[in-house]
Structure formats: C-alpha cells, structure tokens
Amino acid sequence: MKLRDEYTCPLELIHDMIKGKWKPIILWRLRLGATSLSKLENDIDGITQKMLLEHLKELIDYGFVDKKTFSGYPLHVEYFLTEDMGNQILEALRIMQHIGIEYLRKNGMENELTEKHVIPD
C-alpha cells in the first residue's frame, strides 16, 4: 500500500492512507478504545494476524494510530487512535457508516444490520 509521489489534492492522499480491505474496519473498531492485537483479531471477523499487523503498521506510519508497549509478563501491546488524525478520520468514517446504513435500509437489507453496526453517540 504505497503512497504515490504526487497527488492532485490532499483528499487523495488521505484516501490512499486509509484504503485497503481492512483499514476502515480497524479504525472503526478502535473508536471503542485501546486494545491489543489479539483482541482486535477476535473482534474483526475474518482478519488474520498478518493482515492486521500490516495495516496497523501503515496506520501508525501515517499518524492515525499509535501503540504502547507494556514491558512485563505476559507481553502486552495496545493500539489506539491518535488524538488528532485518528479522531478526525473517525468523523469521516461516521458519515460513511451513516450513508451505508441508509443505503441498506432503502434497498431492503435492514436485516444486514446488527448491533455492532450502530453508531454510538
């Protein structure tokens, strides 16, 4: 998931930073608070540890996510959204979530909606 050398506008840059099969859902899950790699792996259906690590690494590089390593036993690492970029991008994702829910409603797919889709205030 390399960034381009040149972008026509900043919007494209950010879009590239959060694109990929798993990035949006990782960020979305992270809105609920800091958590460990293994918890993320459990919460995000279908993802493998490897994909998770790859995408987390990029999100960290770009500044949306940060991690804290607790030394001791057992080894523990926590991933969380950054104050600035992390929380800002959440706003954009919230809008997308909203559009998505409306879209499913209009197309008679409300049944696809479960509790885990609901936007918390």
Partner DNA sequence: CTGGATCCCGAATGATACTG
Partner DNA sequence: CAGTATCATTCGGGATCCAG
Query: Which residues lie near a second copy (CB under 8 A)?
Result: 7-15, 18-19, 24-25, 28, 44-46, 63, 84-85, 88-89, 91-93, 95-104, 112-113, 116-117
Residue with smaller CB distance to DNA, 21 or 117:
21
The position carrying tokens 């590089």 is: 61
Q: How far apart are CA 82 and CA 118, in angstroms?
A: 22
Nearer to DNA, 68 or 98 (CB): 68
Smallest gap, in angstroms, from Cβ of residue 14 to a second copy? 4
Cα dihedral sign for 120, 31, 11, 83?
Answer: positive
> Is residue 37 close enough to count as binding DNA by CB under 7 A?
yes
What is the C-alpha to C-alpha distance for residues 121 and 32, in angstroms, rounded to an integer? 11
Q: How far is the CB of 33 from DNA (least distance, A)?
A: 15
| Residues in CB range of 98: below 8 A, 6 or more apart | 119
